[in-house]
Structure formats: C-alpha cells, structure tokens
Amino acid sequence: MARLPPPSLPPDVLVLGGGAAGLMAALTAGRAGARVVLLEKTRRVGTKIVISGGGRCNVLPSVLDERVFVTDSSRRLMSRILASWPLADQRRFFEDDLGVPLALEPETGKLFPVSNRASDVRDALVGAAEAAGVEIRTGADVTALSPADEGWAATLRDGPTLSARTVIVATGGLSVPKTGSDGFGLRLARTTGHRMEPTYPALAPLTADLAPHADLAGVSVPDAQVRVPLTKGAFETAGGFLFTHRGYSGPAVLNVSHLTALGRARGDAPAVHVAWTDTSAADWEAALTEPGRGLVAATLRAALPARLADRLLADAGVPPDRARADLRKDERRRLLDALTAYALPWTGDEGYKKAEVTGGGVGLGEVNPRTMESNRQPGLFFAGEVLDAFGPIGGYNFFWAWATGRLAGLGAATN
Ligand SMILES: Cc1cc2nc3c(=O)[nH]c(=O)nc-3n(C[C@H](O)[C@H](O)[C@H](O)COP(=O)(O)OP(=O)(O)OC[C@H]3O[C@@H](n4cnc5c(N)ncnc54)[C@H](O)[C@@H]3O)c2cc1C
C-alpha cells in the first residue's frame, strides 16, 4: 500500500534528480522510513535509463571487475563504495524485489531485462519508490540550494522553496545534456567548497578530421581489439567497432575515449591501434602465406566485411588483384600492420553531447564512503555520475549509480 506523506509536513529528505541514482536513493530513503520528495527538472524521470543499452538497459554486468573503473580519487575509497552492495545482491534486488528478471547476453557478459524493455526498469523503480511513499515532482528545476534552519532549502525555477533536513544531489554529470543533466550538481559541489576532479567526456565516439573513413560508415566488426600505448604499458579493450560518418564508435572505441580526451587535454594525444579480429599476427601471416592460387583479397574478405578488407588492402598498398603466391615481403609486412595494429587517424571526440558518462566530478575523498554524506557540508549527500568514478561499457555505470544511490538514501534517511 502506498504510504503518502501528509502534505502539511515538510520532507525529511529531498532528492535532486530523478535518474538512476536519484530513484534508487529516493526509494531506499522512503523504505527506511523517511518522508522523501524527489525533484526532477524534466517532465519525466529516468530518461537515461530508458535510452540506455539501445533501449534495452544494460542494468548490470554479470561479473564485476573493479579494476576497470576509472577515478582520479582514491581507489581504496572507490573499492569501499563498490563493495557496499555486491553484484549478486544488486541482481537479486532487481529480480526478486523489483520483479524485473534479468538475462545474460553471453557474447558481451551484460545483464538486460528479460523483456529487453528499458522502460520496465524505470517503471519498476518508480513503482517501488511511490510504494515507499516517495513524492515525485517532475518539471521541478532546482536553481539553488542554501543552508536553512535545520537543513537545506532548495529553490525551484518557478518560485517556491522546499526545505528538508537532508538533501541528496543526484543530478548527474554533463553527458547528453538533452536528458536533463547540465552539471548543476557539479557547480553546486564546487561552490559549496568541495574538491573537484576536472571533468571530461568519457565513453564518447571518436572523430577524425576530414573523415578519412566516411565511405565505410555503417561497417562494423564484432570483436576488434583496441590498444592505446601509455607511458607505462598499454590500455587494451575488446568489443564491437563501428565506422561512423564522422569517425569511430562501438564499445571498443568508447572504452578508450577517456584516454584520448585526457591525452588531448594534456597536449599529448595518444595513438590508438586496432586489430580488427582476435586473430594473431602469426595466424594472419600463416593465412597469407598459405600455398595455393587464391587472392589476398579473398583471405581478408573471409574474416572481415568486404569494404573494410578492400580498404585495408589499399591502405597497405597491395593491389586488389594480388595473388597470395605473389604477395611481396614488404606488402605482407604492411598488411599485417593494417590488420593487427591499424593506426586510427582520430583527432577528437563527440564531446558531452554523445558521451555516455562524465569523467571526474566530486572527489571521493569529499564524502563519507559509508553514507555518501559530504565531509564539508553536513546533511548534503552525493550519488551517481556527479561523483568522480565511472566504468566501461557493460552495466558498470548503473552498478555505480545503484550502489551510491542506495548508500546515500540510507545515509540521508537515518541522518
Ligand atoms: C545513451 C546512453 C546509454 C547508456 N547505457 C548504459 C547502459 O546500458 N548501462 C549502464 O550501466 N550505463 C549506461 N549509460 C550510463 C548511465 O545512463 C549513467 O551512468 C547513469 O544514468 C547516471 O545516473 P545518474 O542518476 O547519476 O544521472 P542521470 O541519469 O544523468 O540523472 C540525473 C537527473 O537529474 C536531473 N537534474 C539535473 N539537474 C537538475 C536540477 N537542477 N533540478 C532537478 N533535476 C535535475 C536530470 O534531468 C536527470 O534526470 C548510458 C548513458 C547514455 C547517455
């Protein structure tokens, strides 16, 4: 049964932002017995949940490797926060508590709702929040937050002010601003004295000036291996790769874009090398030197989309009608490079407009990792993308949003 707070009583907890973290925070605080009002600037809550995973919502990863998360804050603090709600418990929460069964996509290791409908995830969270007595107000754009007598007062764009003992800032970062996240929480955190890590777009498609591969737009390979040499070692990731009109996308590209963005900001843009399949250079060499009368082009086309195969041949300076038996040593060497360490001529990225997440944000050392309460501003809590941590494609970013939302909800309710 819904337990709605009497309208005359002010809320205990205000949640700013109705995304993944805000919804989880609100429902957790409501279940912990607090009177909760969630303020969402746009006309709908959970917009990013609904567009996530291509409309299917990759709710969680099937395995959590915390080493893949990125933060400029203390990794020890990040680990503590990640460990607060283990993957198996999160999965159980969605399946058993919210009634959203999840299924594994074996080729990617991602968990999606069995229904493949992202809106089911949003609706289940909203339903559970409302059942816990949370009042959800949409079209409620918070323009300022200031200390009040016994807590905080939030000013809304259309006039009224709402006060509460505790406030959870779950307004997201700067990514895909058309969904409502325009950096309000980041500005608020900065102006209230919190140490911020510089922000940058992450999980963004790369661009290439003059679009040298525009003729391949739409061509994709399922298992590219992308490698970014770093000062110490290299960053490697594997997965889908897609040519776009302006550059490159797909999980394997998105997963390295934080390195290219950070490198570019330092004036030290890193190289990005692509192996188009998981075939090793030695195996490619064996295939290219196999006796017989076949064409080199046919060997490539057997493993790659024809347009990409032909382009790699041209880039390596190998004539399209070259027979394998006639492939010269220098041609073979260039072709092996093009197949296993293709230097991607990227020059930039699509920025926040298309970035799936924001890197940087409120330093993790600014919050109590048990409650997500600010160490500087008592009664102020942070959750989700506004904080300085993100993960690769694969459900890691929702894992972060659910975990930090839950901690903040519990912390703010019991404060
Ligand atoms: C296209 C796309 C696909 C994605 N797919 C996946 C996926 O499949 N799996 C995964 O793990 N991650 C995915 N992500 C990342 C994931 O969506 C985010 O990490 C997550 O949504 C962050 O949640 P959040 O609640 O912190 O922020 P947000 O989802 O950005 O929510 C913030 C909310 O706060 C509101 N708000 C902002 N300012 C104010 C204000 N001043 N007053 C009131 N309200 C305000 C905004 O309108 C918004 O609703 C995807 C992201 C994108 C863009």
Per-residue pLDDT of 319-355, as tens digits, reads 999 999 999 999 999 999 999 999 999 999 999 999 9
Please indicate, yes or no, if residue 7 is contained in any of the structural domains. Answer: no
Please indicate, yes or no, if residue 3 is contained in any of the structural domains. Answer: no
Print the domain residue range for 307: 205-350
> 401 CB under 6 A from ligand 1?
yes
Q: Do both 27 and 173 map to the same domain?
A: yes
- Report whether pLDDT(7) > 90: no
Which is nearest to 409 in space by CA: 6, 8, 7, 38? 38
Q: What's the number of domains the chain is made of?
A: 2
Which DSSP state fits 387? B
Which whole number is the average pLDDT over 280-287?
96
> 22 CB under 6 A from ligand 1?
yes
Please indicate, yes or no, if residue 367 is contained in any of the structural domains. Answer: yes
Q: Atom of ligand 1 at shortest distance to CA of 140? A: 43
Q: pLDDT tens digits for 184-239?
A: 999 999 999 999 999 999 999 999 999 999 999 999 999 999 999 998 899 999 99
Q: Which of 38, 45, 52, 407 to mutate to test the pocket of ligand 1 (most atoms within 8 A of CB)?
A: 52
Q: Do both 147 and 193 map to the same domain?
A: yes
Average per-residue pLDDT in the chain? 96
Rounded to 10 degrees, the C-alpha dihedral 287/293/299/301 comes to 180
Q: Do both 328 and 286 map to the same domain?
A: yes
Q: Do both 321 and 249 map to the same domain?
A: yes
Q: How many other β-carbons are positioned within 10 Å of the β-carbon of residue 22?
A: 31
How far out from the chain centre does Cα 134 lie? 27
Q: Do both 131 and 163 map to the same domain?
A: yes
Instruction: Flag whether the pTM goes above 0.85.
Output: yes
Q: Do both 62 and 146 map to the same domain?
A: yes
Q: pLDDT tens digits for 31-87?
A: 999 999 999 999 999 999 999 999 999 999 999 999 999 999 999 999 999 999 999
Q: Do both 231 and 158 map to the same domain?
A: no
| Residue 303: its H or E element | none
Q: What is the CATH number of the domain that holds 33?
A: 3.50.50.60
> 373 CB under 6 A from ligand 1?
no
Q: Do both 179 and 259 map to the same domain?
A: no
Q: Atom of ligand 1 at shortest distance to CA of 179? A: 47
**Sign of the CA dihedral 313, 318, 323, 327?**
negative
Q: Do both 381 and 283 map to the same domain?
A: no
